[in-house]
Amino acid sequence: MRAIETCGLAKTVGIDRELFTGLSLTVTPGELVAITGESGVGKSTLLNMLAGLDDADAGEIRIEGVALGPLNDETRTKLRRERIGFVFQAFHILPYLTLEQNVALPLALISPDSAAAKAQAGVVLAEVGLGDRGRDYARDLSGGELQRVAIARALVHRPAVILADEPTGNLDPETAGRVLDLLARAVKSRGAAAVIVTHSAATAAVADRVLMLTARGLTPIDG
Ligand X SMILES: Nc1ncnc2c1ncn2[C@@H]1O[C@H](COP(=O)(O)OP(=O)(O)OP(=O)(O)O)[C@@H](O)[C@H]1O
3-class secondary-structure state, position 198: coil
**Least distance to ligand X, CB of residue 43, Å:** 4
DSSP letter at 133 equals -
**Least distance to ligand X, CB of residue 198, Å:** 9
Identify which of residues 76 and 133 has a Cβ nearer to ligand X in the complex. 76
CB 91 within 8 A of CB 151: no
CB 3 within 8 A of CB 64: yes
Name the site residues for ligand X (rule: CB under 6 A).
13-14, 19, 37, 39-45
Identify which of residues 54 and 60 has a Cβ nearer to ligand X in the complex. 54
CB 95 within 8 A of CB 138: yes
**Least distance to ligand X, CB of residue 104, Å:** 30
Identify which of residues 128 and 150 has a Cβ nearer to ligand X in the complex. 150
Identify which of residues 90 and 123 has a Cβ nearer to ligand X in the complex. 90
φ, ψ dihedrals at 90, nearest 5°: -85, 10
* Helical segments of 27-172, H only: 43-50, 73-83, 99-110, 114-127, 143-155
